[in-house]
Every structure is written in structure tokens, then in C-alpha cells.
Amino acid sequence: MKLGVNIDHIATLRQVRYMSDIDAHNAEPDLLAAAETCVRAGAAGITVHLREDRRHIQDADVFRLREGLKTKLNLEMGNSPAILAIALKVRPDEVCLVPENRAEVTTEGGLNVAGQQEALRPTVDALRNAGIRVSMFIEPERGQIAASHALGAEMVELHTGAFANSEDGAQLAALVRLREAAEQAHGLGVQVNAGHGINYTNIARIRTLPHVVELNIGHSIVCRAISVGLERAVREMVAAMQQ
């Protein structure tokens, strides 16, 4: 498994003080420097979510990361024409389409691809025509995987929130659903990624999943970085994934 580090909450910290002037000479933390630290520590890519309300990542951040990063940039976005226009200018390596609700603290649940195929198709086609690989952030459900494949998405990112938020038997049952979903997607030729709520403890079970190419992890790494620093936090997660 490869690690994609989500740096949204590094931007959250900056926004607390520099919301109105992210280009100020003393605005910190610096997102590009943080991203480069993650890559140096073993991250295979950087993930950012450009939300419609711009609560953390800003437009300028995405362009700067695209220009400065020497590794993969994965852009999470809702199915918004305005954000799509930015994505087509930035040309990230990958786009992951996610549900977006302004009232939520963070992304809650997977995208209902099966119920929104016609609304999603123009966005998927535009991204693919621009040479951008497309992923769908979905629940580990057969219908959602089949719909993602039918739309032409090269990847699915399985939502691991139900697994991460449960314990004992319920967590094992959620792990079985994730395993079955990974098998189905792989059988269709769709790359399997996973993310949401993965931490340094539950990674032990997540790494037993078959066919998973990449994990996108943010909150847990940023929390760990408060104690040990960002570079060590990323190295520890990479090591935990590879045990």
C-alpha cells in the first residue's frame, strides 16, 4: 500500500489566523513546505480537498502545490461546475469526487454514484478527457462500485468510516464488507484505494485488505505530528502500513 497524506488540516491551522491573507509574508504553516516534508518522509502523494466554502484549502494553494510538488497531487472535490473549472486549469494527477455538505465538519459518508450517474457523467468525462484520473469516494457497496465502473472511473476510494468508528465485532463485520468491495472492484479492473478515520491503531486491520493500492490519511497524521513532528509522523504511518 502507498500513502497519500491529506494536508487539509494543516491549512485549517493557517486559516485560524491568516484567513484573510494567506499570502502574507508571515502566514504559517506553509502548505508546500509541509507537503514536501510528507514526501521526504515516504508519502507517495498529497491530497487536498478544495471545498466550495473554502474552509481550509484555498484556490491559490492548489495551484502552488501543483507547480511545486514533484509527486502526485490528488484533488478531492464535490460535483461543482466552479470547482471543476479550477480542476481543469490545475490539472492534478487525480481527482476524487466526494459528497459535500456545508453543515458537515468533514466528509460524512460516500458519494451516491448509483443515484447520481447522469449528474456525474459530464464531470467524469471532462476530467478524463483532460487526462486526469478519476476516483469515486464511495461506501463499500456492490451497487456503488458497479456504478463507478459504469461511469468510467479508474479508481474507487472505499469509505472506511464505518470500520473506523466501530469496535470489536462490528469492526470485523465492516472489515468483511471492505474486503468484499475490494475484491469486486479489483475484479472489474478498478483500482482500489481507501480512506477516512484510519489511524495508527486500526491500520493493523486495514493493511490486511486485498488489492488496496493507496490509503489517504490526514487527521491522524496531523494529530501525531503535534507530538513528534510531521516527518516522523508520516514515517511512522508508512512503517505501520508496511509491517
Name the residues annotated as catalytic: 49, 76, 196
Of 242, 216, 243, 227, nearest to 38 (Cα)?
A: 216
Of 170, 148, 152, 150, nearest to 161 (Cα)?
A: 170
Name the grid cell of 83.
Answer: 470547482
- For residues 215 and 193, the answer to whether their CB atoms sit within 8 Å is yes
| Strand bridging mode 191-195 / 155-159 | parallel
